[in-house]
Structure 1
């Protein structure tokens, strides 16, 4: 509880410390960046601290942390006392509030209180959930704990890799740096910081999404006259409450699978033989429901299936394995502190940056060698800081964030200068220089980062079934489709010719790229292609024909995505969108001045393309198939489409009348029932109905002390011992192996070898696994000493896992090394 309070106070202090800076940097946003100031402050503080430690200017200790915080405070104080005006005078009081920060705060108390209550409730809620199942066991959790402990125990950067002694981390680890910073400054052990960081990320994402929707709604409502019939108001009160839809859709509303679990448990639509569940083809749900029938799913870890609804089959009918299609609530329920979770509030920060640009913020000029960039130098620097930080946090996110920012800038240039080839030049003039600057700003990371990406691979065999697409996206698709239908119904101006041709062009590009890469691979890398053709029992021609026959049988997914893309692009590409105007009420005559919110249409377009892309191309990596590409692209798409769905719902609530409003209210209620079935039931299953076997705690080490007090005592001893490499048993991933490194922060010779193989060349791992086995089992002291010297081992740990993994010959250790710890069946030897 004390650590929770400290983290809340520190994050709140960080937000207020950063707000003067955000206030000046986000002049076009109604909230002036307030709701994203915590994430923005953590980004700046983290970058400054990491850079100083990487350059050897500061140490990875409390002093270095405070130095970074002082620099952030200095920037903010300079901004506050200078009280600079926004970089453009195009914003009146409706957008930027009063001229001073103090007056802005006084005038926005209702909004600030609502945002702070939301943050605290979200932080406390997720902390309570984590306290009910705080175990850092299974899936990727041990790896993530290793990252945190490794960074906390590294005197400088790059931090050392605890799973490969002698090497530094080769992974995007910025989120773990941020976690370690908060842990070190508050004195929180890594095993508690793990769960607190999940809770903090959840809360920052909640308030960040809330702020984005608040800014969108406020801007929309401010741009049309208020009438007596309006269901919303222009004074911000409606936006303050309605904006809560954003965290609801982003973090709580889930896919349809949880609702299907309830239907299946009730035995609905089930008959012997072929039935709805056979057609749907979701593993476990194809099987007969357990008896007696009930309402609550009772299958072990039933909530896992929701993250694996997209099913891929080879042309032979062989199942390739589950494709990962996580969504936010699943991630928080699972409790993995993985980069895609850690980056979420910063992706939202990138969305806010794009929105600020779209609304006219950061106007200025930068003269480049090849042309003129119409953006301020400060804005350019913030974009570079943000994009480089996202690459460091979760490299996949740079695609969606970069595209959103660049195309938002392009839309502002279209409003200012019209359509033309010059807009392509504008895109390149922003994208290329900002990419170079971002790379240079984070150069110490990129130098040591070894990506597993191996180029693009054509996806002939694995289109997504329409049924699976709707199970995954139905709760977001419905409000987005309703929004687009309303635009059609109100005769919102659209360029249908441009929308259709642009969509067909994008589809052609994806198909052409798929064929081109496939033909090039067949011509120049047949050793990669021929085994695939042989495994399917087909030559190249038959393979292509059968693949397209499958696409035709799965045509529902393509039709769905095209039905989103065509209208979204048609409205987006209309030439007469000079302003960000509001939607007309359904019964109000439409005129050329009634334009859709272009930024939301951009979110819909990019989100849809992220879903469509993996049906044609995927990134080659160690997974072999499209599993990881679907995972990362779908997750980014959920963020964008959840914001769009929240905006759509809010606007339809305020604009619909009569029967249409009644119908939409019923539809929305159904969406809530379907989308909230998963979190409502899943949370009790995951937490054992909030009856944790080891009591409520945020510190997983409390469990370790109860389950294995001897090893817990040994771990505490090693934490206080001098630094050194520890030898422990080596085994498979997603297991208890590497536990000593994970819980002590000391490097081991080899942790999970398959993960190290993903992060770097397998040649670097060498014979470490075999050498450790030899170290424990050989009776030959000289052989043992040679291995100890080779890996600079200081401690040899012998516990229950070592004894069950190897036939340990302990005699040589007794004769060669000093016994420094003995309790129960745990022994530690130190090499002199």
Structure 2
């Protein structure tokens, strides 16, 4: 409990500490950057510490971070001294906004802390891997950190996101088993207030009442945190036995079977909630084998699953990046305050956006395509109405930001070898129309409804002389399809008629293609778009704000389209990860503006507004079903013992292993290499190194192959060498291998007996020259640790 309070107080302190600086830099934003102050201050603190560690400065985290915070405080005090009238005036005028942001932060944190409390254990999916990396970054002062699952080598993975929260909790001296579970609600709450502030700032561009701005912003946070796609609604209809068996067979969602059990409000299957993220798939007619396994996560699932993965960690930074883009590209310098510091604040702003952009790239490298699209796409908005050769000078600043971010994070790139560097084409397989509707129907229908109203309002303008723009707007898609078709033809990866294949694929994507067509048409049209009905006039900011929204939505659509034609080829050899990461970013981009579009549409249906809102209220209840049903499932399985300790069930259901880990942490020198048996990914292997924080020779084999495809021979060698150490009768060879890998201790427990066979291990000779230093209480199938000195 105290750790939770410390975390909340410290992040609040960080935000307040640097707010005077942020206030002067983001003086154009209506909230003056208060909604991003907590996250941005943490990002700056971590970056400075990371630079120190990357250049091998022998620093103490507690002292170094404290000195950095003192420096922040001094700069903030000086800034406040020269601008206190403006800052105090803002606080007096907008105290309710400041209070609301902090209330949302605490409330969202509390909700997700409660959900995490229902099942705080770390045992499934990639939680163990994420815990391992977090453990590694919290126990080092140099970067890149050592790979606990590949002793003697640094992590070849985008570890920076783990470092952001690792440093935060390490500074507070919160142990990693608590830090992991506190990080999930902290990321959700930071994301929520950044999103709230972004919508508030955008809505303020338009002539909307504060009450409506508040409601739209809160609704956006709600959609972001708790909405799902349409699949759980099908689960509900199946649970109450409304869905026909034929429809379920036709829709072909893996695991969704006709309900033959009793009628219930919630599904009876314990893992039903997984299926909402495994919708898009194609099955072989004869064998029923999966041909196109994909993942389409959304924030609630991601937070509930609690894999502390880079795509989750990067969410608040991604949203903050949108705020920075809005601040630079949309808002004019209409405000006269703090004019004497404009030059300095602009330079500081470019430093902030470069750090944010660079952090996004190395927190999750899958962000790179979309953030480059966002950076360069939004840059053109202020000059969209007068395209000349000088227009391209607008790309000068994005280019500077790109170069600066690469330079700022150069130490990372010097030590990171990308495991994938190849782009391939998607073959005949395509997402089915019905699957696309299930995943994206809510957002696409709202966008198309908004576009229908816009075109109806301005129909005379679009028809008279502007239809040519409509043809230009489809050119990017035609070009992409043409390139895809040529590559398919050259690679000869199609069966039958190529033309039929092209037509079939694009019919499936018709809904997405239509959305792209009309969004891009609006973007290149010079008319003013009446996003709010009966506005007396449009300011430059509100006009730019409209096109900012359209640009973001268009990029979201592009991110859906790309994996239908091309994918980044990884170890799996399919488009699973490309669909996963791109669709997740699309979901976030759509979430940002969909509630605002719902409000915008309502201004055009004043006569039927009450029916309109009732309809969306009912639809919202349906889309909230997933989160309600999931929480109900977790509550029913809860053991009623409040805890956020990741070791909770581990210490109860696997006490022997837990006790040995505790003994290792309390008795062995930090950094000593402990040998344990390696195993497959997502298994119970490698938990000694993961939970203790001590390196082993080889951890999850599958993940090491993903991270190091250029070292497959070495990985295979390590696997065989470890087997020899455990079962070989050649004592000299065992000694050589122990010395080669610098092994100090050998762990012998349940997993080792499973992997190598108890009868094989009992015959080996490594016990003859090793000294037993630990033995569990269980004499049969117990746990032992041996110490070795072969020097």
TM-score by length of 1: 0.87
Partner in structure 2 of residue 256 of structure 1: 230
Question: How many angstroms does 1:822 deviate by?
Answer: 1.5
Q: Does 1:458 align with 2:425?
A: yes
Instruction: Work out the CA distance in 2 between the residues paired with 1:24 and 1:382.
Output: 13
Q: Does 1:632 align with 2:581?
A: yes
Instruction: Give the match's secondary structure for 2:282.
Output: strand
Partner in structure 2 of residue 381 of structure 1: 351
Instruction: Work out the CA distance in 2 between the residues paired with 1:155 and 1:590.
Output: 56
Partner in structure 1 of residue 514 of structure 2: 563
Instruction: Work out the CA distance in 1 between the residues paired with 2:693 and 2:137.
Output: 8
Q: Is the 1:362–1:376 contact (alpha carbons within 8 Å) kept by the matching residues of 2?
A: no
Partner in structure 2 of residue 87 of structure 1: none
From 676, 681, 689, give the equivalent of 1:733: 681
Structure 1 residues 496 and 132 mapped into 2: Cα distance closer, same or farther (>3 Å)?
farther
Partner in structure 2 of residue 352 of structure 1: 323
Could you give the per-residue CA deviations for residues 351-388 of structure 1, whole angstroms, max 9, x where no partner exists? Answer: 00111123236899xxxxxxxx9x94333322221111
Partner in structure 2 of residue 93 of structure 1: none
Instruction: Work out the CA distance in 1 between the residues paired with 2:751 and 2:170.
Output: 30
Q: Is the 1:27–1:361 contact (alpha carbons within 8 Å) kept by the matching residues of 2?
A: no
Instruction: Work out the CA distance in 2 between the residues paired with 1:670 and 1:304.
Output: 24
Question: How many angstroms does 1:118 deviate by?
Answer: 0.6
Alignment of 1:736-747 (within 5 A): 736-747=684-695
Partner in structure 2 of residue 48 of structure 1: 48
Instruction: Work out the CA distance in 1 between the residues paired with 2:103 and 2:202.
Output: 21
Partner in structure 1 of residue 638 of structure 2: 691
Instruction: Work out the CA distance in 2 between the residues paired with 1:679 and 1:352.
Output: 28
Q: Is the 1:385–1:438 contact (alpha carbons within 8 Å) kept by the matching residues of 2?
A: yes
Partner in structure 1 of residue 723 of structure 2: 773
Q: Is the 2:59–2:141 contact (alpha carbons within 8 Å) kept by the matching residues of 1?
A: yes
Instruction: Work out the CA distance in 1 between the residues paired with 2:304 and 2:42.
Output: 24
From 705, 708, 711, give the equivalent of 2:657: 711
Q: Is the 1:18–1:72 contact (alpha carbons within 8 Å) kept by the matching residues of 2?
A: yes
Question: Over the residues paired in the alignment, what is the CA RMSD in angstroms?
Answer: 2.7
Question: How many angstroms does 1:778 deviate by?
Answer: 1.8
Partner in structure 1 of residue 440 of structure 2: 473
Instruction: Work out the CA distance in 2 between the residues paired with 1:581 and 1:66.
Output: 50
Alignment of 1:480-559 (within 5 A): 480-491=447-458, 496-497=466-467, 499-518=469-488, 522=491, 538=495, 542=496, 544-545=498-499, 547-548=501-502, 550-551=504-505, 555=507, 557-559=508-510
Instruction: Work out the CA distance in 2 between the residues paired with 1:642 and 1:341.
Output: 15
Structure 1 residues 591 and 169 mapped into 2: Cα distance closer, same or farther (>3 Å)?
closer
Partner in structure 2 of residue 722 of structure 1: 669
Q: Is the 2:745–2:787 contact (alpha carbons within 8 Å) kept by the matching residues of 1?
A: yes
Q: Does 1:342 align with 2:342?
A: no
Alignment of 1:590-739 (within 5 A): 597-654=546-603, 656-659=605-608, 661-685=609-633, 687-689=634-636, 691-692=638-639, 695-720=641-666, 721-723=668-670, 724-739=672-687
Could you give the per-residue CA deviations for residues 207-262 of structure 1, whole angstroms, max 9, x where no partner exists? Answer: 111111111111112xxxxxxxxxx52xx343233310111122211101111100
Q: Does 1:410 align with 2:380?
A: yes
Instruction: Work out the CA distance in 2 between the residues paired with 1:549 and 1:602.
Output: 27
Question: How many angstroms does 1:592 deviate by?
Answer: 12
Instruction: Give the match's secondary structure for 1:379.
Output: helix
Instruction: Work out the CA distance in 1 between the residues paired with 2:483 and 2:419.
Output: 21
Structure 1 residues 56 and 326 mapped into 2: Cα distance closer, same or farther (>3 Å)?
same
Partner in structure 2 of residue 816 of structure 1: 769
Instruction: Work out the CA distance in 2 between the residues paired with 1:352 and 1:142.
Output: 33
Question: How many angstroms does 1:468 deviate by?
Answer: 0.6
Partner in structure 1 of residue 340 of structure 2: none
Query: Which stretch of the first structure deviates more once superposed, 19-28 or 353-362?
Result: 353-362
Instruction: Work out the CA distance in 2 between the residues paired with 1:496 and 1:137.
Output: 58
Partner in structure 2 of residue 123 of structure 1: 109
Instruction: Give the match's secondary structure for 2:204.
Output: helix
Structure 1 residues 769 and 570 mapped into 2: Cα distance closer, same or farther (>3 Å)?
same
From 389, 393, 401, give the equivalent of 1:434: 401
Partner in structure 2 of residue 369 of structure 1: none
Q: Is the 1:730–1:751 contact (alpha carbons within 8 Å) kept by the matching residues of 2?
A: yes
Structure 1 residues 799 and 68 mapped into 2: Cα distance closer, same or farther (>3 Å)?
farther
Partner in structure 1 of residue 390 of structure 2: 422
Structure 1 residues 376 and 12 mapped into 2: Cα distance closer, same or farther (>3 Å)?
closer
Question: How many angstroms does 1:441 deviate by?
Answer: 0.6
Instruction: Give the match's secondary structure for 1:814.
Output: coil
Structure 1 residues 164 and 591 mapped into 2: Cα distance closer, same or farther (>3 Å)?
closer
Instruction: Give the match's secondary structure for 2:774.
Output: strand
Question: How many angstroms does 1:611 deviate by?
Answer: 0.8
Question: How many angstroms does 1:499 deviate by?
Answer: 4.7
Question: How many angstroms does 1:545 deviate by?
Answer: 4.3
Structure 1 residues 592 and 451 mapped into 2: Cα distance closer, same or farther (>3 Å)?
closer
Question: How many angstroms does 1:496 deviate by?
Answer: 4.8
Instruction: Work out the CA distance in 2 between the residues paired with 1:497 and 1:394.
Output: 40
Q: Is the 2:728–2:764 contact (alpha carbons within 8 Å) kept by the matching residues of 1?
A: no
Could you give the per-residue CA deviations for residues 389-422 of structure 1, whole angstroms, max 9, x where no partner exists? Answer: 101111121322232232222112336xx22233
Alignment of 1:130-141 (within 5 A): 130-141=116-127
Instruction: Work out the CA distance in 2 between the residues paired with 1:9 and 1:264.
Output: 45
Instruction: Work out the CA distance in 2 between the residues paired with 1:781 and 1:590.
Output: 87
Partner in structure 2 of residue 763 of structure 1: 713
Structure 1 residues 277 and 692 mapped into 2: Cα distance closer, same or farther (>3 Å)?
same
Partner in structure 1 of residue 137 of structure 2: 151
Instruction: Give the match's secondary structure for 1:158.
Output: coil
Instruction: Give the match's secondary structure for 1:812.
Output: coil
TM-score by length of 2: 0.91
Instruction: Work out the CA distance in 2 between the residues paired with 1:251 and 1:499.
Output: 38
Q: Does 1:801 align with 2:758?
A: no
Partner in structure 2 of residue 8 of structure 1: 8
Q: Does 1:573 align with 2:524?
A: yes
Could you give the per-residue CA deviations for residues 299-353 of structure 1, whole angstroms, max 9, x where no partner exists? Answer: 1200000011111357998532520111111111111110000000000001001
Structure 1: unaligned runs, 5 residues or longer: 84-97, 222-231, 365-372, 523-528
Q: Is the 2:677–2:755 contact (alpha carbons within 8 Å) kept by the matching residues of 1?
A: yes
Structure 2: unaligned runs, 5 residues or longer: 336-342
Q: Is the 2:196–2:217 contact (alpha carbons within 8 Å) kept by the matching residues of 1?
A: yes
Could you give the per-residue CA deviations for residues 151-173 of structure 1, whole angstroms, max 9, x where no partner exists? Answer: 11223111000010010011111
Structure 1 residues 330 and 747 mapped into 2: Cα distance closer, same or farther (>3 Å)?
same
Q: Is the 1:499–1:566 contact (alpha carbons within 8 Å) kept by the matching residues of 2?
A: no
Instruction: Work out the CA distance in 1 between the residues paired with 2:68 and 2:597.
Output: 41
Structure 1 residues 601 and 729 mapped into 2: Cα distance closer, same or farther (>3 Å)?
same
Query: Which stretch of the first structure deviates more once superposed, 250-259 or 595-604?
Result: 595-604
Instruction: Give the match's secondary structure for 1:412.
Output: helix
Alignment of 1:236-255 (within 5 A): 236-255=210-229
Could you give the per-residue CA deviations for residues 9-49 of structure 1, whole angstroms, max 9, x where no partner exists? Answer: 11111111222222122222111111111111121111111
Could you give the per-residue CA deviations for residues 733-765 of structure 1, whole angstroms, max 9, x where no partner exists? Answer: 101111011111111100011111111122342
Instruction: Give the match's secondary structure for 2:559.
Output: helix
Q: Is the 1:26–1:361 contact (alpha carbons within 8 Å) kept by the matching residues of 2?
A: no
